[in-house]
Amino acid sequence: MLFTSVPFLLYFMPIVVLGYQLCGKIGRRAVIAWLGLASVVFYACWDPRFVVLLMGSIAVNFFCSRMIAGTATYFAKKCWMVAGITANLSALCYYKYLFKLLGAFNALGMSHHLWTTVILPLGISFFTFTQIAYLVDLAQGQATPQSFPEYALFVTFFPHLIAGPILHHREMMPQFSQNKQYRLHADDFFVGLSWFILGLAKKAIIADRLAPTADFTFRHVSLLSPAEAWVGVLSYSFQLYFDFSGYSDMAIGLARMFSIQFPMNFNSPYKARNMIDFWARWHMTLTRYLTLYLYDPITLTISRRRLAAGKKVSRKAQKTIPGFTAMVATPMLATMFLAGIWHGAGLQFLIFGTLHGIYLSVNHAWRMFRGSHVVDRKPALHTQLTSVLLTYACVLVGQVFFRADSTHDAIALLGALGGYHHRSGTSVLTQSLVILLGLIPVVWLAPNTQEILGQVEPSLRRPRFGFGCTWSWAFALGLIFLGAILFISSSSTFLYFQF
């Protein structure tokens, strides 16, 4: 079920909200059971067959978590943790990579068997990663065991189930176990509804308008003039941002209606002045996950090995070429390489990940080797502008690989961007140029959702445009809601569902 679909808006949400209020009168367990049931129904509306997979995954992970919590020795805990992670990754590999890999073998002539394909279960990456993090932290003593209903709700809670944000148990579990009144709070509901409406508008009014141009561009990479290639790639870049951040805003808003706070996922990423800043603003919960569960463990392993070999691991040692290569560049490249694989099976995703690994490594090298006196000084306006444009250009190159159907297409499109094709063009993108010109100030100058609403870090503390529970805001939000509904395209889906 899509957040933008009529059954969701008209039937699902009113029923869930009403049920939540009624169950709240019974108690916390009833509320948790109700939200868990609603989440399973939400997932089943896409394809009921995969509810078995989802519930199976939850059962296996819950069993592993119980075993981890129940054993005393660290070795036994680690064994159960490895078993749980293996089970999770096996399911992920089966559905996401195995058949694509076998297809690639066929394409290379290494095999001639006609392999079948499987449907990728919706949100499998998200619920797998959420559960792996829980097992790892439980084994390390950084999480506490939960009861099955709470654990199941943490994994399945419908606002985040399909496309994130990737939740961390430490921020969610306390909210489910709090001894608070489980009923609707009008103020939370007002903020949640505002958040949801702004996300819906991003998706329906902006992202869906850009989709045809973006789709056309990536389908006809060899037919485009340079101007059309630029319009098409920029359209995709804006579409991706408004689509995914719109989805995240809707998820945050929905959770907030039940007085549950989700972490932010986007913070105006295209305003970033360098690649490190970009990843701190783009899909922030993924960045956090990658840092905690990939980058840090890899860095720690390398540091331990260096210490064992009698080498230094200090900040000073990082500023040497071998130290930087070992302790910053290597874990960074490895992390982003794996992040690329997470996004999909295909050479273009590997290039996407590696490219960002290189960007980040270069960015760190620049910071470390130029000296802090240069970095700390506030840059001039033109330097800031150049930094933002350079960062965005790097992001665009990565996004071309991210969206293209193949590496060949990506390179052809980059060629078109650079004017190497000199095609006559298709002249169908003029209208999109007008939309893009209108969006440029929105992307780079306007405040983002959390800045407008002023509710959660890292937004500004004070809301923008005088947001508050006023009649003028209620009227404006009602009109935005109406506008978004008028533009909802029934055939559209969310870009990040494929991951």
Task: Just list the catalytic residues.
Answer: 343
When the beta carbons of 39 and 459 are compared against other proteins, the nearer one is 459
Contact status: 193 vs other proteins (CB under 8 A) = yes
Q: Which stretch binds other proteins (CB under 8 A): 350-358, 392-400, 433-441, 486-494?
A: 486-494
Q: Do 144 and 264 form a contact (C-beta atoms < 8 A)?
A: no
- Select the residue interacting with other proteins from 198, 313, 351, 436 (CB under 8 A): 313
- Select the residue interacting with other proteins from 419, 460, 469, 498 (CB under 8 A): 469
Q: Give start and end residues of each alpha helix (H) in 378-429.
A: 381-403, 407-417
Number of residues near other proteins (by CB under 8 A): 67
CB 429, min distance to other proteins, A: 16
- Distance (Å, rounded) from C-alpha 150 to C-alpha 133? 16
DSSP assignment of 440-495: HHHHHTS--HHHHHT-STTS-SSPGGG-SS-HHHHHHHHHHHHHHHHH--TT---G
- Distance (Å, rounded) from C-alpha 237 to C-alpha 220? 17
- Distance (Å, rounded) from C-alpha 165 to C-alpha 283? 8
- Which of positions 26-55 make contact with other proteins (CB under 8 A)? none
Q: Please name the residues in contact with 85: beta carbons below 8 A apart, sequence gap of 6 or more.
A: 132, 135, 136
Q: Which stretch binds other proteins (CB under 8 A): 57-65, 165-173, 237-245, 435-443?
A: 165-173
- Select the residue interacting with other proteins from 190, 293, 444, 497 (CB under 8 A): 190
HSE-CB at 114 with a 13 A cutoff on CA atoms is: 0
- Which of positions 215-254 make contact with other proteins (CB under 8 A)? 219-220
Q: Which stretch binds other proteins (CB under 8 A): 91-99, 229-237, 351-359, 480-488?
A: 480-488
CA distances to 9, 87, 128, 176 from 91, in Å: 32, 6, 9, 28
- Select the residue interacting with other proteins from 73, 179, 427, 491 (CB under 8 A): 491
- Select the residue interacting with other proteins from 21, 71, 175, 354 (CB under 8 A): 175
When the beta carbons of 60 and 292 are compared against other proteins, the nearer one is 292
Q: Which stretch binds other proteins (CB under 8 A): 42-50, 156-164, 351-359, 477-485?
A: 477-485
Phi, psi of 299 (to 5 degrees): -60, -40
- Which of positions 437-456 make contact with other proteins (CB under 8 A)? 455-456
CB 240, min distance to other proteins, A: 21
- Which of positions 324-383 make contact with other proteins (CB under 8 A)? 327, 364
Per the structure block, which two tokens stand in for 343? 């996004």
Which phi-psi region, left, alpha or beta, contains residue 181 (left: φ > 0; alpha: ψ -120 to 50)? Answer: beta
Site string for other proteins, 247-276 (x = CB under 8 A): ------------x-x-xx-----------x
